[in-house]
Structure 1
């Protein structure tokens, strides 16, 4: 069996899933691009569905690990912690742009794999976001807002460039695959945190809206 066949299969699958869609990609297409036998895919993943599940797990395991590591900075303040989360997640998504774009698009389709992701990784993500926002309210760093809506807005900022890469390139002339993108876009996210979320006016303790 080809050395590093599993890695080659995953790389080929990600590229094809992202460009042709999951349903538009065949096992034969993946095997051809990866330069392996179809039997190699069956050996490592059983079938295309198993390969899809691996891609989701591969993405979200790393995603949640980034969140957990960034959360360690919470003692420096909620604002600092949220900026660290933004920086680490944005960098991770840019480094894995094809996988990120495919996973986010596939998450909009109701399926068994997506439901499993929602019941595990998405709940973990919500837990860390909620803890950061609650700390921000408690420490008077953030203006009181509805936490579900804050999570929605913050996730939208992080996901938009990868959900709509064609729109970003062709209409806005923004290229998430370029090296300078992270640095430039982070400034905009930090501005949202500093100007929309944070407040210089003292807020009464306990003013938390959930």
Structure 2
């Protein structure tokens, strides 16, 4: 599995000008924080750059100075959320030597559920905008769908940093696991802000069994 997402992230992250000075970095983070809060309050369709600027305490032109409008802010939020997930996964992996794929799946589900409960705007724009019928805000790079970036970064982390063995047909396995998790968590959080524990547990059971079967009965194939 090649890391073709990198070029796409740099060119299509939605950030027009990357901040260098600390003051600019803080301003960009303030804009993203305001955007995330407003997503929770008014939703994506009612979100405006003018209101984001007002909430962040910056002139509207400042938003466009750093971001390619509303889609750019969404892409930046999605990538920030993905970075946050990977940071949490690194911490968890460090605490659990001898990690297995089924256990790694449990950890990913636990951390994603935690983010849904606590991270502003995450239910609207998580890692690749999973709203039904919505566009994907992650940059496509050299691959057709933004969700592939999530698959590649998770797999690269698992095999390159967490010490997990390669999977057979990793591209399809990771895509299927991500899509299945996304559907299960949408159902779990459909009528509850904290999520339906039984549905979350069903997702955990389904995915851990899938990865246990993959790693038990099939020989590992070289990563693509």
Instruction: Identify the TM-score tier after normalising by the shorter chain.
Output: 0.5 to 0.7
* Bigger helix fraction: 1
The 2-side partners of 1:161 and 1:124 are apart by 21
Q: Residues 185 and 67 (structure 1 numbering): CA distance in 2 closer, same or farther, change over 3 Å?
A: farther
The 1-side partners of 2:49 and 2:147 are apart by 26
Specify which of 20, 25, 29 is matched with residue 51 of structure 2: 29
Find out whether 1:65 has 2:87 as its counterpart: yes
Q: Residues 156 and 113 (structure 1 numbering): CA distance in 2 closer, same or farther, change over 3 Å?
A: closer
- What is the aligned partner in structure 2 of residue 105 from structure 1? 129
The 1-side partners of 2:99 and 2:35 are apart by 40
The 1-side partners of 2:173 and 2:163 are apart by 8
Q: Displacement of 1:151 after TM fit?
A: 1.6
Structure 2 gap segments, 5+ residues each: 1-22
Alignment coverage as a number of residue pairs: 186
- What is the aligned partner in structure 2 of residue 191 from structure 1? 205
Larger radius of gyration: 1
More displaced, 31-40 or 80-89? 31-40
Structure 1 gap segments, 5+ residues each: 138-144
- What is the aligned partner in structure 2 of residue 140 from structure 1? none
The 1-side partners of 2:152 and 2:136 are apart by 17
RCO higher in 1 or 2 (8 Å CA, sep ≥ 6)? 2
- What is the aligned partner in structure 2 of residue 20 from structure 1? 44
TM-score by length of 2: 0.57
